[in-house]
Amino acid sequence: MTILLKNSPTNILPNSLFKPRNITISILSGVFLLNSVALFAGELHQHIEVTIVDQRVQASFCRPEKGCSLVKPETLGLPAGQMPVDQLTSTPIYVSEFSIFPDRTAIDSPGFEGLEGDMTPGDRVKYLASGHLSYWNTEKRQWSLAPEDIQVRLAGGLDLAPNQDCGQVICIPNTVEGFTLFDRGGVDGALSLIVGEIRPDGSLHTHLDWIIESDQGTPNAPVGAYMVELQLITETYPAPSEPLWIMFNNGLALEDFQQAVAGRVLQSNTDTALADQLFSWAESNYPSFFPHATTSFITLGFYARCYENGVCVGVKDNHIFAVGGKFGANIVTLGKFDELTAQAGL
């Protein structure tokens, strides 16, 4: 199942003289330095460990004994030793929380950390943005899609732009800051940007800026938990890592945020038995779209089925999505899962 991209990604050119940032700088209505003071005394500050395993980027929970920050499972209301991993899909979840500033709500965590000798010096780590902006509603106690006018902006990633004005035969490309927008419809802006460049000793340490806002750029997002999806690559190892999710607390009391975590980690976000009933009902009632019975599987965070006509249908965040065949090349939303099951009499 492909991921909806509302705009085409910006192409990234190779061979920049980019140097990794050791502080976080955001260019959004000017340059500012994020103060990462957290509501819970920094307990939700952490790093994503990045390394290369079997010729592919691997992202994992960092090892505090190596000097990086890791959120304790107990802080998230989880049993000791149980890391936050989505129960249905086994996707790792890295947590953070937004801080309130006079003109924006933002944070520079999680950071990206690579240990000495883990990667190739000079290689560049990039992210690939995908998925939809998810939202935990405390009143419904349910994960769903974010409200219509809310987005999370990932700022500070670098792109490379041609430079024809250096006066030399070969000009080094300019580095320019870019951004990615996550909302309920998918991803806007740049799909892929540079996170950082590997140091001469093979290590990495860098942070980007996450800003939650309305689609008008104002910091008035509803209180709740929000979640986005990334994969990681490098220029040397372009095969994407397994997906990872980043969950942000936006103004919830710690015990309420723990409920949002539990809604992914301690229980499945999707009733798979009910989803199978709905898929089978659709196969019986709409054979032109879903022409035969098939089995369900998990892919890219969806509980899904695919058909010989190219159609795939999946459940995620209490919504039904479809792509391929008569639905077209981009993912479309068919409706809310609970409402469609009710309409089907299930």
Q: Which amino acid is at 132?
A: H
Determine the pLDDT at residue 166: 65
Give the rounded percent of residues in the chain with a pLDDT score beyond 90.
Answer: 70
Residue 297: alpha-carbon gap to chain centroid: 21
Distances (CA, A) of 290 to 39, 298, 344: 48, 18, 15
> Are the beta carbons of 214 and 221 closer than 8 angstroms?
yes
**pLDDT at position 173, please?**
59
pLDDT of 6 reads: 37
Report the pLDDT value the prediction gives residue 18, as an integer from 0 to 100: 30
Radius of gyration of the chain (CA): 21
What confidence category does residue 229 fall into, taking pLDDT thresholds of 50, 70 and 90?
Answer: very high
Checking if the pLDDT of 326 tops 60, the result is yes
DSSP class of residue 92? B
Q: Is the peptide bond before 222 cis (omega within 30 degrees of 0)?
A: no
pLDDT at 21: 39
Percent of the chain with pLDDT over 70: 83
Task: Determine whether 31 is exposed, middle or buried from the number of CB atoms within 10 Å of its CB (0-12, 13-18, 19+).
Answer: exposed
**Cα–Cα dist 346/337, whole Å:** 11
Tally of CA atoms within 13 A in the half-sphere of 215 that contains its CB: 13
Q: Which distant-in-sequence residues (6+ apart) come within 8 Å of 299 by Cβ? A: 1, 314
Beta pairing partners, 51:
58
Question: CA of 279: how far to CAs of 257, 268, 275, 276, 290, in Å?
Answer: 32, 18, 6, 5, 9
Bridge partners, 179 (sequence order): 155
* 90-122 per-position pLDDT tens digit: 999 999 999 998 889 999 999 999 999 989 999
- DSSP string over 114-167: E-TTSS-TT-EEEEEEEEEEEEEETTTTEEEEPPTTEEEEEEEEEEEE----SS
Q: Mean of the per-residue pLDDT values for the chain?
A: 84
Q: Are strands 209-214 and 105-107 parallel, antiparallel or unpaired?
A: antiparallel
- Could you tell me which residues are beta bridge partners of residue 247? 95, 227
Q: H-type helices in the chain, by residue range? A: 254-265, 272-285, 337-343
Q: Are 13 and 162 in contact (CB under 8 A)?
A: yes
pLDDT in tens, 36-92: 333 444 567 889 999 999 999 999 998 888 888 889 899 999 998 899 999 999 999
